[in-house]
């Protein structure tokens, strides 16, 4: 007797096209972060963490600029304007909370000088760093 296929067992398997989009987005995000890191390193900053995750959320890059800690959100889109527009207030709040959590591991704690930057990467791979883009959110 032939056995019937239960399609509910396949519900958890992503479609190939969706899986491919996810891989491309992930790799594209890594490339954008690498581009931003290269600019920061060229400017003399020291990379401390990539994709640091705390209870409040994830911070793409954490760098040291002398004694100052720089938290960076990297956004990639077709244009820089589109990348800038994709940073929403709720995400800024989460990054601020995660940054505060990270400072708990720093010698000066909450008294550490900090800056929140936005690194935007367009479809051609051009990267601009917006220093202090949401430091006073």
Please indicate whether residue 29 or residue 46 has the higher confidence score (pLDDT). 46
Contacts of 64 (CB under 8 A, 6+ apart): 45, 46, 48, 70
Tell me what the pLDDT averaged over the chain comes to: 90
In this prediction, residue 28 carries a pLDDT of 80
As a whole number, mean pLDDT of residues 89-115 equals 96
In this prediction, residue 121 carries a pLDDT of 97
Contacts of 76 (CB under 8 A, 6+ apart): 28, 29, 32, 83, 120, 121, 122
> Going along the chain, which residue ranges are E strands?
46-53, 58-65, 68-76, 114-121, 127-130
What is the three-class DSSP state of 87? Answer: coil
Indicate whether 10 pLDDT > 80. Answer: no
Give residue-wise pLDDT tens across range 63-92: 999 999 999 999 999 999 999 999 999 999
Domain ranges of the chain: 16-130
8 A C-beta contact, residue 114 and residue 69 = yes
Indicate whether 12 pLDDT > 70. Answer: no
By DSSP bridging, strand 46-53 and strand 114-121 are unpaired
**CATH no. for 16-130:** 3.40.1350.10
Indicate whether 137 pLDDT > 70. Answer: no
What is the three-class DSSP state of 85? Answer: helix
In this prediction, residue 25 carries a pLDDT of 78
């Amino acid at each position: 007797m032939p056995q019937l296929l239960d399609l509910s067992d396949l519900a958890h398997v992503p479609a190939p096209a969706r899986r491919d989009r996810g891989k491309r987005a992930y790799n594209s995000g890594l490339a954008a972060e690498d581009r931003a890191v290269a600019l920061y390193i060229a400017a003399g900053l020291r990379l401390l963490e990539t994709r640091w995750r705390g209870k409040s959320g994830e911070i793409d890059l954490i760098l040291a600029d002398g004694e100052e800690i720089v938290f960076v959100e990297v956004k990639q889109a077709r244009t820089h304007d589109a990348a800038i527009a994709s940073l929403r207030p709720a995400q800024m709040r989460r990054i601020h909370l995660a940054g505060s959590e990270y400072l708990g591991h720093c010698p000066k704690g909450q008294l550490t000088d900090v800056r929140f930057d936005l690194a935007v990467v367009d479809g051609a791979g051009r990267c601009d760093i917006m220093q202090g883009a949401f430091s006073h959110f």
